[in-house]
Structure 1
Amino acid sequence: MLRITIISVGKLKEDYWKEAEKEYLKRLSYFTKLEIKELKEEKFDDKTNVEMIKEKEAEKIIGAISKDSYVIVLDKEGKQFSSENMTEEIKTMEQSNNVTIIIGGPLGLHDSILKIAKKSWSFSKMTFPHQMIRVFLLEQLYRGFMIKENRSYHY
C-alpha cells in the first residue's frame, strides 16, 4: 500500500480544519497509509530575516523526511494540473511507494527544500493559508484516488 507522509510547517488551529482533515484521513485510509507530521513554525515579525526563518524551517523539514522518500513540494511556482490529472500523479507516487509531500509555512519553502523535490505542485497562483491548503491537498488526493478507481465522487 502506498505510504504518504505530509510534512506541514504549522498546525491546524481551528476545529473546522481539524474536522475536515479527520474526515479526509478516514476516507483516504482505504487507498493509502497517510501520516501527517506537523512541524513548529518559526516566529517572525516585520524585522525578521525571511531567509533565516525559511532556513531554520528547512532544517526541521529535512530531519522529518525519510531517506527513501519521493519528495513533492507545494509551491506557488509549481505545476498546476486538473483533478483528473491527479490520477497520473498518484500512479507516479505508487511507483515510489513512499512519498513525502511538503507544505511550507507562511513564508514559503527554502531553496534547499525546493532543490531536493522530485516534483513541485501548485493549486493556484493565488496565496492560501497553509491550513487551508492542507485540507485542499487531502481532498484532491481523495478525489484523485476516487477518479483512478472509477468510483463516484467526481463529476
Structure 2
Amino acid sequence: MKLTLLQIGKTKDKWLLEGISEYRKRISAFAKFDIIELPDESIKHSGNAESVKAKEASTILKYIKPEDYVILLDEQGEQKNSLEFADFLISLSERKNVVFITGGVFGVDKSIRQRANSILSLSKFTFTHRLVRLILCEQIYRALTIINNRNYHK
C-alpha cells in the first residue's frame, strides 16, 4: 500500500517541518509515504472563501486517480482511536493507494467531500491545517507500529 498526503499550502514552520520529516522517515520503514504540497489560492485573487475552496479542489482532484481510496480530514468526520485507525488501515491494505487530504485555511469544497471515501476527524479540538499534518503523520506511524507489533503505542 502506498500512502499519500495531499495538502494545500506549504509547511513553513521549522519545528513542524522537523517533526514531519522525522515521522516520514519512521513511516518509510513500513510503507511508501509521499507528501504533496499543492499551492494555496489567495483570497485577494479569488474574491471569497468559496471561490478559494473551489479552485483548491480543482487542483486536488487532478492528483486523485479513480481507484484511489480518499480520506478527507475534517473536524466533522468520524473519530477513531489509534487501535481503530490501525484496524481501518489494515482494512485498506488491498488498496493500491490511500490518499489523505488536508484542506487549506478555508477548508475544502463540497466536491472533495463527495469524492472522499471516508471522512475522519483527528479530534473534537480544532487544529490549524499546518498542525494537522504533523498529527496525521504521527498517527499513521503509530498505526503502522500497532499493525507491525512494534513497541511504540502504549
TM-score range normalised by the length of the shorter chain: over 0.9
Equivalents in 1 of 2:150, 2:92: separation in Å?
Answer: 20
TM-score normalised according to structure 1 size: 0.94
Match of 1:93 in 2: 92
Alignment of 1:151 with 2:143, yes or no, is no
Equivalents in 1 of 2:82, 2:90: separation in Å?
Answer: 13
Match of 1:38 in 2: 37
Residue 142 of structure 1: how far off its partner (Å) = 0.4
Residue 143 of structure 1: how far off its partner (Å) = 0.3
For residues 1-155 of structure 1, the aligned pairs below 5 Å read 2-44=1-43, 48-155=47-154
Equivalents in 2 of 1:32, 1:75: separation in Å?
Answer: 24
Equivalents in 2 of 1:56, 1:127: separation in Å?
Answer: 24
Partner amino acid, structure 1, of 2:89: I
Equivalents in 2 of 1:7, 1:22: separation in Å?
Answer: 15
Equivalents in 2 of 1:126, 1:87: separation in Å?
Answer: 21
1:41-77 Cα shifts (integer Å, max 9, x gaps): 11126x9421111000000000111332111100111
Query: Which runs of 4 or more aligned residues in structure 1 lie more than 2 Å from their structure 2 counterparts after TM superposition?
Result: none
TM-score normalised according to structure 2 size: 0.94
Task: Compare 132-141 and 87-96 and name the one that shifted more.
Answer: 87-96
SS in 1 for 2:73: strand
Instruction: Name the % identity.
Output: 38
**Gapped runs of 5+ residues in structure 1?**
none
Equivalents in 1 of 2:40, 2:60: separation in Å?
Answer: 11
What do you get for the CA RMSD once the two structures are aligned? 1.4
